[in-house]
Amino acid sequence: MQINQYYRTGLKLLALFVIGGLIAYRLFFAPLPVEALKAVSEPIVAEVMGTGTLEAHVHTMISPKITGRLAQVLVDQGDKVVKGQTLLTMDDEDLRQQVDMAKADLAAAKASAEKAVSQIKSSEATEKQTQASFTRQSKLAPSGAVSMDALEKSQREMDVAQAELNQAQSGKIEAEKLVAKAEAYLQYSQAQLAYTVIRAPFDGLIVKRYHDSGDIVVPGNMVLEMISLDELWISAWVDETMLDKLKVGQISQIVFRSDPKTELPGKVVRISPQVDTETREVLVDVSIDRLPKSWAVGQRAEVYIETARKENATLIPQRAVVWQQGRPGVFVIKGKRVYWCKIVLGIQGKEKVEAVEGLQIGQTVVIPDTKALKDGQAVKVITK
């Protein structure tokens, strides 16, 4: 009985030893399954990413210059318009009456001016006649052929004629002022009447309508919002640390969130000289060469601005890079073991990075996961 008990205890210890050995082998000696890829020679593009919205370079608000009631709003949001097309009209009955009154006032002022001209001509003839009579009598007075009373009377008549001529000339000046005033008021009334018809300032698209026919509006009230389709761009915010890499004219790719699988070409057209003090980002305008089938102003999009390109580069996945003591490197498979080697990074793309030094094309590098790798560790490459 005692021997059997010893025998069973020995078996248990042996089983525990075997299990422990297996665990130790798996932990310290068994090849670690890893994912690995070969370094390849491919083109790579360095990009700066920004997020922004679709905006129009030329954008305007259509509003009236006068207070009044909207008679007609002839377009709606989504309508394309051409320069000079009538967009809306306002009630013009009162203004037409003002124009008619201004025309009547101008006609009356011109009639008064013409009457003043006629009065001047009459006064000039009278003044000329009295002047000649006075001159003639003045020559006869020394001989006694004309009495002093007659001479004095002739002078008074001449003075009266001169005064009437002066008065007529003054009346003409006042009449001309009234004509000028009436003409100015007519021009003002006609301009006010012209303001009742609002036309498109350029070819474009109506993107928003704020009022309907019958609404009362005042100067500054937005009735329509309009953009030009000649130049649309993405106004994107880019981190200020990327500012030294940005230049006007750089090729870009635009991805709308509504269609994340499609990349549309564009280029940098403007870089703001001011950084947002809160977000520490700079605004970059990227023109878009071709719009998607469905789009809307204000639509969100990501832009990828090309800052560098290399046609033949030694590339590895970015997730293969392992940093040790602040230096980048990769685990390279030699035989059936892995060894960390330092590399010099070059251009960094979306998913891959260039190894400028320390790695050869065709070398197999490990894609590390949550398990820590060590130099000389045995590995087994698995396929995912």
The model carries a pTM of: 0.63
Mean pLDDT of the chain: 86
Average confidence (pLDDT) over 315-339 = 90
Cα separation, 154 vs 132, in Å, equals 10
| Res 76 pLDDT > 50 | yes
pLDDT greater than 70 at residue 9:
no
What SS3 state is found at 266?
Answer: strand
d(CA 329, CA 320) in angstroms, rounded, equals 8
- Within 8 A by CB and 6+ apart from 59, the residues are 225, 226, 227, 228
pLDDT of 132 strictly over 60: yes
Range of lowest pLDDT (73-77, 122-126, 350-354):
122-126
Instruction: State the pLDDT confidence band at 25, using cuts at 50, 70 and 90.
Output: very low
Residue-wise pLDDT tens digits, 349-358: 878 899 999 8
Give the phi and the psi of residue 371 in degrees, each rounded to 5: -80, 135
CA atoms within 13 A on the CB side of 308: 15
Kindly report which listed range (35-39, 195-199, 264-268) carries the lowest average pLDDT score: 35-39
Q: Which helix (H) or strand (E) holds 13?
A: helix 2-24
Q: What is the mean pLDDT of residues 267-293?
A: 93
B/e letters for 103-123, b = 16+ CB within 10 Å, e = fewer, are eebbeebbebbeebeebbeeb
Given a cut of 70, is residue 11 above it in pLDDT?
no
State residue 382 phi and psi, 5-degree precision. Answer: -115, 155
* Residue-wise pLDDT tens digits, 216-274: 999 989 999 999 998 899 999 999 999 999 999 999 999 999 999 899 999 999 999 99
Q: Cα-flanking dihedrals φ and ψ of residue 188, to 5°?
A: -65, -45
How much is the average pLDDT of 53-62?
93
Residue 51: what pLDDT? 95
Higher pLDDT, 153 or 187: 187
* Res 113: pLDDT: 82
Q: How far is CA 316 from the centre of its chain?
A: 40
Mean pLDDT of 332-337: 88
Quote the percentage of the chain above a pLDDT of 70: 88
| Distance separating alpha carbons of residues 253 and 273, to the nearest angstrom | 22
